[in-house]
Amino acid sequence: MAEGSRSPLRSFVEVAPGSHFPIQNLPFGVFRRRGSPEPEPPRPAVAIGDFALDLAAVSDAGLFHGPLLSASPCFRQETLNMFLGMGRPAWKEARATLQKILSADEPVLRDNEALKKKCLVPMSDTEMLLPITVGDYTDFFCSVHHARNCGFIFRGPQTPVNPNWFQLPVGYHGRASSVIVSGTDIIRPKGQGHPTGDSRPYFGPSKKLDFELEMAAIVGPGNELGKPIDINDAEEHIFGLMIMNDWSARDIQAWETIPLGPFLGKSFSTTVSPWIVTMDALKPFTCEAPKQEPEPLPYLAEKNHVNYDIPLEVWIKPKEQSEPSMVAKSNFKHLYWTLTQQLAHHTVNGCNLRPGDMFATGTLSGPETESLGCLLELTWNGQKEISVGNSTRKFLEDGDEVILTACCKGEGYNVGFGTCTGKVLPALP
Amino acid sequence: MAEGSRSPLRSFVEVAPGSHFPIQNLPFGVFRRRGSPEPEPPRPAVAIGDFALDLAAVSDAGLFHGPLLSASPCFRQETLNMFLGMGRPAWKEARATLQKILSADEPVLRDNEALKKKCLVPMSDTEMLLPITVGDYTDFFCSVHHARNCGFIFRGPQTPVNPNWFQLPVGYHGRASSVIVSGTDIIRPKGQGHPTGDSRPYFGPSKKLDFELEMAAIVGPGNELGKPIDINDAEEHIFGLMIMNDWSARDIQAWETIPLGPFLGKSFSTTVSPWIVTMDALKPFTCEAPKQEPEPLPYLAEKNHVNYDIPLEVWIKPKEQSEPSMVAKSNFKHLYWTLTQQLAHHTVNGCNLRPGDMFATGTLSGPETESLGCLLELTWNGQKEISVGNSTRKFLEDGDEVILTACCKGEGYNVGFGTCTGKVLPALP
Ligand SMILES: [Ca+2]
Ligand SMILES: [Ca+2]
Ligand SMILES: [Mg+2]
Ligand SMILES: [Mg+2]
């Protein structure tokens, strides 16, 4: 067999082995050059190796030739929302153009030093920004392991999972204003916790600060109010995925949550990774979705019922330790209700989705002890400790940095998400 | 006593007795001229009698002289968000300028026919639009009568109100994308309802479509993430109030709500009135807020603990009847947790508010049988009927128009909100 016929796609940009960002990936983000004398406006990019490819510069150079993008201002915006709204044909055109101009065989960028300098910005010179304006953010609750553990912890062993859970993807509206990009510090929230005995409720810094290992899907075109999206069209509306940490203050959450659900226990910060990995890049990592029993109602029954095999890890770096330690290892594939089922359910009542809306999966716990996606589950609500390097934790302490990462292993390449990080600062006085 | 010293403020624009919109009110909205040959961009306005005063035109004519507004583009925007972000000093300056140029004694507009024609647009020639871009919409649950009735209906007579209710303003995140302006039709949502016995869950058009009589506060400047707003500064961040109908599908809501709260039972549509009545216009209608027992925690204890006396009405007009009938009569003053307490609570964990965010009060039920703010309470979840003209209702039927209205009665003038209306259309096939 000739070498050429099986050589994988390769870029002229050097990509270290093990990099999350080879030419097979090309996740989208928004960056600003660090330390330019005058602040530049943010601009869209894709990641390639250790570089951000500046899509405004690529656009200015006239390298987007295709019918949908050649005259579009979508890459001269400060967020990806316009591009998201253009839908899958534009996404495919962008990916094809970018894979071509970055490939080892294509001279247009490779052999133009001046243009290369303009377009390829070393990641060390970039500040990554929140790449989308989030109109609405919905948090689902779609890992059965997480649902079972939370039910057990909060409601006891009788009916850990409420009967509706197996009939519909349970979700709630999250807070959009406090969605922030990886690297932003988290100030420990203050709030009320359960009273003990006849006393007043606790008020002060949360004593049960937690992370939640999640992924967030980013919505493309969306729908008009009143017009549901059919389950078999749903994938046309999902652009890609980010890693997400749904920081949670368990004491605030437990006290406030009856009867209307989570509110201030969650709304103080929600961190997302800067890069959105496209569903097109994730296609090779498609896998079978968990069998659903009972069978879903017809509006949730889909022809293409798939998940994605995305290994996930959680690391914690305490302030006084020089290295982070892994505390959990899970996988996106544990999701019981697929992204497309979530989207069809979300719109079945006519609710409108807009480009840039975020759907989070809920905590992606798996079945094993080490695959639990939050400290609530790992320490069984603080009843036991886990070890973190040479220390232990029940909940997060000031100075702890939480690092989530996700990376799909392909044949000879990765499709990775980078990291989603945040460090806990003490509560304000 | 000389007549002059007590004559109330009066406009040269004719205002019919009983009008909601005298010069004492001047609520803000956004309109577009109806039937102009080319579609004009939306523009901010205040209501005066039967006219919308075009603030872009007033601004173009150089009539905003004050230091904050004379050079500001805030009234050349398509929403009020920029103006909201400028805060109370700008709001006061706008009100003072507008009351002056509209007053009977002031010739600048009164005696300039050409300018008057440009600035004063008959309401019959306007299409009112959603006046704000809603970043986040929060729905509180602050009428104790509503909380008690809902608790009784859904959880039984043992603990109708959960103990946290008297310690904090319970609320949840609502859906921002489906906030719509008065007059927009409501398509009956489809969704899942409780299974009966061993059957599958119900799926189809909601059989328990309801309204909720609420008011929504509109947020001004807001705060940075991580920096709570002190309760005694909270009023600087509240621009004004609208009437709101939080349409609810009770069957969908009941089945989905455990454990994360309302989702698709609410997110299909939320209607607001087009005019935002400012807190400055509402000041004369200040009244004592309900005594709070137990005393609120220090972060919720406020120096100026007040409510507003705003009479509210709900009317229903069935398709086959020519006139609407009143079905409920309540008052904003039943709110247990004040708007400022809601705002202080919302930010105490560091959650950031942005200009244009909406806080809804929750259903404003009062203590009397006729002051219940939704059909769930009025018909005790469909267990009895109420009469609507010569017909009866348990829940809303297709063709029903729901009309909410609110109007404060001053001495010789009203400060009214107009109406908040929506007609129920049948579910899509
Ligand atoms: Ca979550
Ligand atoms: Ca409500
Ligand atoms: Mg969160
Ligand atoms: Mg609603």
A7 pLDDT higher than 80: no
Provide the ipTM.
Answer: 0.96
Q: Per-residue pLDDT tens for B276-311?
A: 999 999 999 999 999 999 999 999 999 999 999 999
Cis amide bond preceding B22, omega within 30: no
B259–A151 CB contact, under 8 Å: yes
Give the domain CATH number at B96: 2.30.30.230
B33 falls within a domain: yes
B24 is in an annotated binding site: no
In a domain, B19, yes or no: no
How many residues does this entry show for chain A? 429
**8-state DSSP, A11:** B
Domain count of chain A?
Answer: 2
Gap between the Cα atoms of A170 and B29, Å rounded: 36
The answer to whether residue A30 scores a pLDDT higher than 90 is yes
Indicate if B88 and B155 belong to the same structural domain: no
Q: Over the stretch A420-429, which tens digit does the pLDDT of each residue have?
A: 999 999 999 9
Q: Which of B164, B201, B294 is nearest residue A297 as measured by Cβ atoms?
A: B201
Known catalytic membership, residue B173: no
Question: Which pLDDT does position B1 carry in this prediction?
Answer: 36
CB < 8 Å to B162, chain A: 258-259
Q: Is residue A192 assigned to a domain?
A: yes
From residue B99, how far is each of A253, A400, B11, B252, B279 by CA, in Å?
47, 55, 8, 47, 15
Beta bridge mates, A240: A218, A278
B5 assigned to some structural domain? no
End residue of a domain, out of B127, B154, B185: B127
- Cα separation, A325 vs A211, in Å, equals 15
CA distances, A16 to each of A13, A127, A413 (Å): 10, 21, 10
Q: How distant, in Å, are the alpha carbons of A77, A175, B56, B276, B417 from that of B29?
A: 29, 26, 12, 6, 11
Beta sheet of B28-33, edge-to-edge order: B120-122, B51-54, B43-48, B28-33, B126-129
pLDDT for residue B2 is more than 80: no
- Does the residue A266 lie in any domain? yes
The C-alpha R_g of chain A, in whole angstroms, comes to 22
Given a cut of 90, whether residue A11 has pLDDT beyond it is yes
CB-based contact B170 A256, cutoff 8 Å: yes
Instruction: For B398-428, write each residue's pLDDT tens digit.
Output: 999 999 999 999 989 999 999 999 999 999 9
Q: Is residue A14 part of a domain?
A: no
Q: Is the pLDDT of residue B3 over 60?
A: no
Same domain, B292 and B230: yes
Tell me the pLDDT band of A22, cut-offs 50, 70 and 90: very high
Contact status, residue A21 vs residue A49, Cβ threshold 8 Å: yes
- The answer on A396 and A303 residing in a single domain is yes
Beta strands in B77-231, from DSSP E residues, in sequence order: 120-122, 126-129, 137-140, 171-173, 179-181, 186-187, 190-193, 202-205, 209-210, 213-219
From the CA of A249, the nearest ligand is: 3
**Of B27-36, B37-46, B235-244, where does the model show the most confidence?**
B235-244
For residue B277, what is the enclosing H or E element? strand B277-278
pLDDT of residue A16: 96
Nearest CA in chain A to B350: A268
Residues A57 and A190 in one domain: no
Residues A246, A340, single domain; the answer is: yes
User: Does A328 or A37 have the greater pLDDT score?
Assistant: A328
Once rounded to an integer, what is the mean pLDDT over residues B261-268? 98
Nearest CA in chain A to B148: A259
Q: Looking at the structure, do residues B336 and B233 belong to the same domain, yes or no?
A: yes
Ligand nearest to the Cα of A248, by number: 3
Bigger pLDDT: A5 vs B121: B121
pLDDT in tens, A49-79: 999 999 999 999 999 999 999 999 999 999 9
Same domain, B203 and B120: no
Positive or negative, the CA dihedral B55, B57, B62, B63 is negative
Among chain A residues, the shortest Cα distance to B203 is held by A297
Q: How do beta strands A306-308 and B358-360 pair? A: unpaired
The yes-or-no verdict on residue B158 having pLDDT over 90 is: no
Give the distance, in angstroms, between the CA of residue B162 and the centroid of all CA atoms in the same chain.
26
Whether A16 maps to a domain, the answer reads no
Contact B350 A189 (CB under 8 A): yes
Q: CB under 8 Å to B189, separation ≥6 — which residues?
A: A349, A350, B205, B206, B209, B249, B252, B264, B268, B427
- The phi, psi pair for B91, rounded to 5°, reads -65, -40
B266 labelled ligand-binding: yes
Q: What ranges in A257-302 are assigned the alpha helix state H?
A: 279-282
Give the CA count within 13 Å in the CB-facing half-sphere of A17.
Answer: 2
Environment class of B147 (CB within 10 Å of its CB; exposed 0-12, middle 13-18, buried 19+): buried
Strands A213-219 and A238-245: antiparallel
Task: Read off the amino acid at residue A122.
Answer: P
Nearest to B190 among A141, A187, A348 (CB): A348
In what helix (H) or strand (E) does residue B91 lie, and over which residues does it extend? helix B88-102
- Count of Cβ atoms closer than 10 Å to residue B9 Cβ: 14
Residue A106 and residue A178 share a domain: no
pLDDT of the residue at A3: 38
* Cα A429 from chain centre: 32
Domain that holds residue A307: 136-423
Interface A:B, Cβ pairs < 8 A? 196
Report whether pLDDT(A359) > 60.
Answer: yes
Of A154, A261, A351, the CB nearest to B175: A351
Q: How many whole angstroms separate alpha carbon B169 and alpha carbon B138?
A: 11
Summarize pLDDT for B98-137 with one digit per residue, the tens: 999 999 999 999 999 999 999 999 999 999 999 999 999 9
Which of the residues of A are catalytic?
146
Mean pLDDT calculated for residue range B29-56: 93
Q: Which ligand is nearest to the CA of B252?
A: 4
DSSP string computed for A336-380: SS-HHHHHHHHHTT-----TT-EEE------SSGGG--SHHHHTT
Same domain as B113, residue B178: no
Whether the predicted pLDDT of A4 surpasses 60: no
pLDDT tens digits, A333-347: 999 999 999 999 999
| A253-288 residue pLDDT tens | 999 999 999 999 999 999 999 999 999 999 999 999
Q: Are residues B55 and B180 in the same domain?
A: no
Here the tokens at position A419 are: 């990291």
The answer to whether the annotation marks A333 as part of a ligand binding site is no
Is residue A7 one of the residues assigned to a domain?
no
Q: Which two tokens stand for residue A160?
A: 């850990």
Instruction: Give the tens place of pLDDT for each residue, A209-228.
Output: 999 999 999 999 999 999 99
B88 and B211 together in one domain: no
Question: Binning pLDDT at 50, 70 and 90, where does residue A155 land?
Answer: confident
Query: Could you tell me the pLDDT band of residue B155, with boundaries at 50, 70 and 90?
Result: confident
- pTM surpassing 0.95? yes
CB B424 within 8 A of CB B396: yes
**Nearest residue on chain B to A425, alpha-carbon basis:** B226
Q: Mean pLDDT in chain A?
A: 96
| Domain end point (choices A77, A95, A127) | A127
Q: Which residues of A touch B201 (CB under 8 A)?
A: 164, 167-168, 297
Q: Is A320 annotated as a binding residue?
A: no
Residue with tokens 């009008």: B19
Domain of B362, CATH number, reads 3.90.850.10
* Domain end point (choices B94, B127, B160): B127
Where do runs of H (alpha helix) occur along B238-365? 250-256, 279-282, 339-347
Residues B309, A366: Cα–Cα separation, whole Å: 54
At A5, the pLDDT band (50, 70, 90 cuts) reads: very low
User: For residue B118, which phi and psi values (nearest 5 degrees)?
Assistant: -70, -40
Which pair of structure tokens corresponds to residue B184? 């927009």
Tens of pLDDT along B361-375? 999 999 999 999 999
- pLDDT, averaged across chain B: 96
pLDDT for B358 equals 98
Is A188 a residue whose pLDDT tops 90?
yes
Phi/psi of residue B340, nearest 5 degrees: -70, -35
Name the residue among A162, A155, A153, A142 with its Cα closest to residue A365.
A142
Who among A162, A175, A260 is closest to B351 (CB)? Answer: A175
A35 with A148, same domain: the answer is no
Considering only CA atoms, which of B420, B423, B415, B385 is closest in space to residue B213?
B420
